[in-house]
Amino acid sequence: MHVFVTGAAGWVGSAVVQELINAGHLVTGLARSAEKATALAATGAKVLLARLEDLDALRTAADKADAVIHTAFNHDFSKFIANCEQDRLVIEALGSTLEGSDRPLIVTSVLSGMARGASELDLPNPGSPRKSEPTARTLAERGVRAATVRLAPSVHGLGDYGFVPMLIRLAKEKGVSAYLGDGQNCWSGVYRQDAARVYCLALEQGVTQAAYHAIADESIPFKAIAEMIGHHLGLPVESREAEHFGWFAKMAGANMAASSAGTRELLAWKPEGPSLLTDLDQAAYYMS
């Protein structure tokens, strides 16, 4: 199968590319810089050097592929609303190219705003500014074989530059590893390569449902994450008010824990990587 992957040089996308290539698929990956393009080409993938704004280039690449996996998202949170709109436009462009065919489109989304313990059958939060999944569902209503992979808030592994490293940097800056309230709000986690395998399995098994959950650790108390960070940095672990976290306070206090039972059964997916807390119990996570 020839698969076009956006975000192919990113944290999740590069793992998806490797998983697809290892499974014998041909991959064309989107890279936004010459440096990223060189690294991507070294994996054996073909490269489209373009940016998310280049919708015509994305449509052309999607038109040449048997399937599309969209992992790209601009994580500059100072421009979050604009980036959500850009994401919607990209998904719409990719979907419009696939419309009228049976070629699948898998997009990436998150758990923010969903009820604690949500399953794959639960609908996304309609109030979320991120419209990745609603756009995919609208495309599905038009006959596109579109689905969403909902990622855990921590897609972890050495080299991770997501939310947990943000918490590590904040702890270093503030001199305390903090949590909100009693710290019993829960996050979920998934090892990076385990997450990538969900995309590959969903694609190979025909993209048969609207949403998949790339979630291994289904419910980790936020306080436990703060305690592990505090232990490795030699810092106190204490409750703090929202102001301590700045713009990240809503995430720090959120419940982003969900079930992946449906995905495990449907795809015969069994996470094999370390848990989030096991991964965080490595000195290398705190070196940057």
Summarize the confidence of residues 272-284 as an average pLDDT. Answer: 97
CA distance 73 to 109: 10
Is 168 among the domain residues?
Answer: yes
Residues 111, 173, single domain; the answer is no
The answer to whether the pTM exceeds 0.85 is yes
For 198-248, write each residue's pLDDT tens digit. Answer: 999 999 999 999 999 999 999 999 999 999 999 999 999 999 999 999 999
Burial (CB count within 10 angstroms: exposed 0-12, middle 13-18, buried 19+), residue 245: buried
Q: What is the CATH number of the domain that holds 31?
A: 3.40.50.720
Tokens (6 digits) for 72: 């790209």
Same domain, 202 and 231: no
Same domain, 114 and 252: no
pLDDT in tens, 134-184: 999 999 999 999 999 999 999 999 999 999 999 999 999 999 999 999 999
Q: How many distinct structural domains can be found in the chain?
A: 2
Residue 268 lies in a domain: no
Average pLDDT over residues 101-122: 95
pLDDT of residue 288 exceeding 80, the answer is no
Domain presence at residue 105: yes
In terms of domains, do 127 and 85 share one? yes
The answer, yes or no, to whether residue 88 has pLDDT greater than 90, is: yes
35 and 61 share a domain? yes
Residue 65 belongs to some domain of the structure: yes
Whether residues 206 and 147 share a domain: the answer is yes
Q: Say whether both 63 and 205 belong to one domain.
A: yes
Q: Is residue 131 part of a domain?
A: yes
Per-residue pLDDT, 219: 97
Q: Is pLDDT at 93 greater than 80 in this prediction? A: yes
The answer on 93 and 79 residing in a single domain is: yes
CA-wise closest residue to 179 among 116, 224, 233: 224
pLDDT at 82 over 90: yes
What CATH number does the domain containing 254 carry? 3.90.25
Average pLDDT over residues 255-274: 98
Is the model's pLDDT at 77 over the cut of 90? no
Domain for residue 263, yes or no? no
Q: What is the mean pLDDT of residues 99-107?
A: 97
Give the percent of the chain with pLDDT over 90. 97
Beta-sheet strand order (sheet of 186-191): 154-156, 186-191, 217-221
Structural domain includes residue 16: yes
pLDDT exceeds cutoff 90 at 75:
no
Tens digits of per-residue pLDDT, 22-36?
999 999 999 999 999
> Residue 154, Cβ neighbours under 10 Å: how many?
26
Give residue 81's domain range: 2-152+191-215
Are residues 180 and 113 part of one domain? no
- Mean pLDDT score of the chain, rounded to an integer? 97
> From start to end of 32-176, where are the E strands?
46-49, 67-70, 104-110, 145-151, 154-156
